[in-house]
Structure formats: structure tokens, C-alpha cells
Structure 1
Amino acid sequence: MPFKPIQQAKCPKCGKSVYAAEEKIAAGHKFHKGCFKCDMCNKFLESTNVTEHEAKLYCKQCHGRKFGPKGYGFGGGAGALGMDKGERFGNKECEMGNKPTGDSFSGAASSSTGPKCPRCGKTVYDAERAIGVNTPWHKSCFNCNACHKTVDSSTMAMHEEEVYCKTCYGKNFGPKGFGFGQGAGTLSMS
């Protein structure tokens, strides 16, 4: 019986043989410890943060940027408002098949139909609409025009179709004169 040498597994990243002392296993493939890193950001991976797509390794954050849902509110965990696709890590493709058409991401006013945000002039879709106001606003645009503090329907004041927090509204448009703005009990008529 002829001797057959054992075929060593090849690392999908570098194509070289992987020996038992230096192997990391993910998605049924053996990788070198030095090759076991994210294909986008080059961060070294552990079994707790590795994800695989078509024999390529990604950290969970980059995998979400590249292959996860795209749009307002996705990409960074609970409460995140972003559209980060990982361009700074070299991600050029977008896996979103239902990407809106038109100028909605170009910075110019959108040509699509639907309600427009009073501040930026772009179309306001239901997923990005500020709740509690009758006029449609983007969540990211619905802040004080003066100090940019986040407001909601109970902490906002409107003036000439712009939104202000109650503090800035009082400073800019409230009553003026002796005794105003000093606090309770300071109004003087003398």
C-alpha cells in the first residue's frame, strides 16, 4: 500500500497550509491566527465577534454595514441613526435591493412625491418621521434651530415654521423688558 501524505488544509485568506498549532476555525474553514481578521477593517477576530459571508470573515459591525439592512436607523445598535455602509473601510458595494431612486441622498431637494421636511426640503418617509407633530419632519432635523438640542412635542415651540426649544424660544421671542427673564416673583412695575 503506497504512502499518501495527509493533505494540509489551506487558509482561505492566504492560500498557505494551516498547521494545528496555528489554526483558527470559522465557517468550516481553517485560518492562520494572523489571517483571522475582518476583511473590511482588519480588526483581529475572536469566536465571539466573527461572522462569515462567502468564505470571507467580518467583525459583526462590518458585516452589518456591508450585508445588513440599510437606511435611516440601521447600522449601529439600539437608537442609532445612521447610514454608515463602511466606505472608510473600502466597502464600495451596497447590498440594498430596494434603494430609493431620485435625489433623496444627494443633498439636493428630493424630486420624489411625498411630504417634505420644512428644514431640509427632502422627502420624509414614515421610518424617519418625527413623532408627535402634525407637520412631517425628519427625526434628525427636528431639533432647536438655535442650540440644536433635541426636542419633542412637549419641549418644542414653533416660530415662523421653525422649531425651537422652550428656552431658546423664550430668549429670542419671549417678553422683553425690566423684570422678565429673572425668575419667579421678580416682575416689577415701578
Structure 2
Amino acid sequence: MGEYFNCAECKESLYCKKYILNDAKPHCIQCFESLFCSNCEVCQKLIGCTSKDLSYNDRHWHSECFLCTTCSRSLVDLPFTNKDGNLMCVECYSNKYSSKCYACLKPIRPGCKKMEHKGNSWHEDCFTCNGCLQPIGISHFLIKDGKNYCLPCYKKDFSEQCIQCEKPIMTGGVNYLDQPWHKECFVCCECKQQLASQRFTTRDDSTFCLDCFCSVFFKKCASCDRPVGSLKGSNYISFEQRQWHTDCFKCKKCSESLVGKGFLTCKDDILCSECGRNA
């Protein structure tokens, strides 16, 4: 039987010799290594049958050659990564390529959760409020002098208080007579319309939009009951404690304008001379 038990490749007898089966076919050691074994990526020597073959992405290494290209530590039992074809342990990769924590300045290793804001990165545990020192996580925060603050600490330490509602002003706001206001609190004392985007005036420490100021403090037209005049000034007719817009100063009967003309009065009405004579 021995004379027929030959290597499938070179046909030499395998009787009393070591051999390896591949696809149920016996191969002598030399033929098996030449056909099926790979060369080591580092030393370029054959990884023989008696050596441990470590493979990654169709590349092969002797176990003793499977090392970090930076620190030369064995990667057999260590997590590693591939950078431009070079294998590196996670620690070396982090030191060289990972972003540094803005707080502790240590590398943020791959797989670790990190927080990012405006180009800076933090370890999750390092991303804390400068006031209460508690982790901020994904909560809202504000920055003051390059330091991060949670909203409660920022409000407590830095926010101006609205003169009206006495609550912190977090964004925007209005400053008038060196006093801070929320936009929504800085309103006309009559109509409650916000004044931040329009012209306004004050009287007796109260703020008014121009329409309300004219309505409250200006005299009313005897005809239309609207304010006579404006802050810019305007022409009007005045007679016996009554005032009219020039457009409203008309004969009660014929509606002829009486501006610059003689007129008569009949109780509260004003009439042109002709209508007055016929009254």
C-alpha cells in the first residue's frame, strides 16, 4: 500500500513521512508550503506549517512579526488599527492621530464617546460645567471667556436681570437708559406692542409708541376725534378751546373747506357764511 501513498503534487512516496491533507489530497510538507503557505509581510520569509500564521485583510505575518509599527509591541492580544497600510496598537494610534481632549489634553481613543463643539473635542467625562462641575452631556450650554457653563449656572453668574420681570436675559434684549429689558418686556404701556423695532417716546417714566402717545396726550379733533398734531408737528385749526385737522375744518352742511375763510358757529357746528345765513 505504501508505494501508492504518494504526494499529490510531486508524486513522491509519503510512506513513513509527514504529510498534510488538503481537499482530501495528501501533500508532502515541501509541496504544501510552496503551494498554500504565505510569506510574512515583515520578514518576507515563508510562514511554514510549524509556524502560526496571523492574517488581516489578505496579508500574513508570523506571530512574532505581528507588531505595532510604532512601539513594536506584539499585537497578538491587543486591539489594533490600520493606518496607511501600517498596523498600530490603539494607544499609539490615539497618541499620533486622535483628537486631544480640550480639557485634559489626553487623546480621545477610537471607540470612546466624545463631545464636539466649534472644532474642539472633549472626553464625555471632561465636558463639564465650569460652575457646578457636573457633566453637560447633550444639554444646552453657553460659553463665557472660553469656558462652558450649563444654563442654570450661566443664568446665576452672568445674565443680566430684566428690569421689568426680573428674570435673566439669555439672548438679545434691549438696553434703555442703562437698564436691561427682554424684548418682549419692553412694550408700550398703553397698547403693549413691543417697542424694540420702532420709534417710541417716554413720559413720567412710562414708554409709549408714537400712536399711543399722541392719542393719550394730544388734543382731539372736534370733527373726527383723532389726535391733532404729531411729534413731528403739523398744522391745525384752533377756535374757542377746540381744534380741527385742516382737512376736517369744513362746513357741517355743505362740507366746503373753511380754511382761510369766514365761518359761523351754530351750537357745536361750524358753518360757512352762506349756510349760516340760511340756518
Give the TM-score taking structure 2 as reference length: 0.30
Write 1 or 2 for the structure with the bigger share of strand: 2
